[in-house]
Structure 1
Amino acid sequence: MEIIKTSEKGNLIINEEALASIAINAAKDVDGVSSFSNKPMDVVDTIKKGSLKVMSPVRITQDGERMDVSIYINLLPNKKIKSVSENVQHNVAEAILNMTGKEVSKVNVIIAGIDFPDNGDSNAPLTSEK
């Protein structure tokens, strides 16, 4: 998937990896996003493309002029899923529009998990254990 723009000065091609990078950087700025989750891409698409990049936190699909973005994120604890998701949707769509001039029709935010802080040694007994 690429965005191709033609002018009298030449062609501009923006590939999927660049779009994914824009989406990730836009989502990083949202309060409540802890990290990204690598979800496997569709096996058939991976084989067709011949790509060795099987894991990606961002999937971009394009059907004509319609571009859909799906992003897999992990949240910080005690953050509201709805507000974080809406902020990610807004930031990703706006960043792609501002940087490429291409409008995003839909941003799907998939909450893959919650990143809880690691409190010390995992082998240490819990306070309720004796």
Structure 2
Amino acid sequence: MSEEEIKDIKAEKEEAEKVDEGSIKIADEVVGIITGLAATEVEGVAGMSGGLAGGIADMLGRKSLSKGVKVEVADETASVDVYVIIEYGNSIPDVAWKIQDNVKQAIEGMTGLDVKAVNVHVQGVNFPEEEQKEAENKVEEVEDEE
């Protein structure tokens, strides 16, 4: 191979390396859906809490898979806030830690983003129907006594 051919091959290789392969942008909504699904997979999570805006969206028939999730994606990192309702009888800190771990693994595994923070906000406790009725009856009894 001549010196000229080697130069041509090197030039072609350098040109090929300069070609922009494009970029990959993962929408915040996608990260939100992954977060919501990963959080609800955790034992002890009754559901997601969407707050007032989420409740209005539900009434309008626009229930979102990312309900109860706030996402911030910057460059190759993500931070998420998860708003959940925990089943009565579960250790809230244990469930929250499991949510953090499951959400972090799901986002990093599916998107390649580096998760900087998973903030869990426990918005309520869900009681089984029987216990809910018993609690309501006790409240009514106390109110009747007054």
Aligned to 2:32: 20
Q: TM-score, normalised by structure 2?
A: 0.63
Aligned residue among 44, 53, 67 for 1:32: 44
> How many percent identity over aligned positions?
31
Once the two structures are TM-superposed, the CA of residue 12 in structure 1 deviates from its matched residue by 2.5
SS of corresponding position for 2:80: strand
Aligned to 2:97: 86
Once the two structures are TM-superposed, the CA of residue 66 in structure 1 deviates from its matched residue by 4.1
Unaligned runs of 5+ in 1: 1-6, 42-52
Count of paired positions: 110
Query: Equivalences for 1:113-124 in 2 at 5 Å?
Result: 113-119=124-130
Aligned to 2:85: 74
Q: Measure, in 2, the Cα distance between the counterparts of 1:118 and 1:79.
A: 16
Once the two structures are TM-superposed, the CA of residue 117 in structure 1 deviates from its matched residue by 2.1
Structure with greater proportional helix content: 2
Structure with greater proportional strand content: 1
On the 8 A contact 1:68/1:105 being kept in 2, the answer is: yes
Aligned to 1:101: 112
Q: In the alignment, does 2:82 pair up with 1:60?
A: no
Counterpart residue identity of residue 105, structure 1: K
Unaligned runs of 5+ in 2: 1-19, 54-62
Q: Measure, in 2, the Cα distance between the counterparts of 1:31 and 1:19.
A: 21
Counterpart residue identity of residue 72, structure 2: T
Q: RMSD over aligned Cα, in angstroms?
A: 3.1
Deviates more, 1:62-71 or 1:74-83: 62-71
Q: Measure, in 2, the Cα distance between the counterparts of 1:68 and 1:96.
A: 10
- Greater gyration radius: 2
Q: Measure, in 2, the Cα distance between the counterparts of 1:115 and 1:78.
A: 9
Once the two structures are TM-superposed, the CA of residue 40 in structure 1 deviates from its matched residue by 5.5
Q: Measure, in 1, the Cα distance between the counterparts of 2:83 and 2:46.
A: 11
Once the two structures are TM-superposed, the CA of residue 25 in structure 1 deviates from its matched residue by 0.8
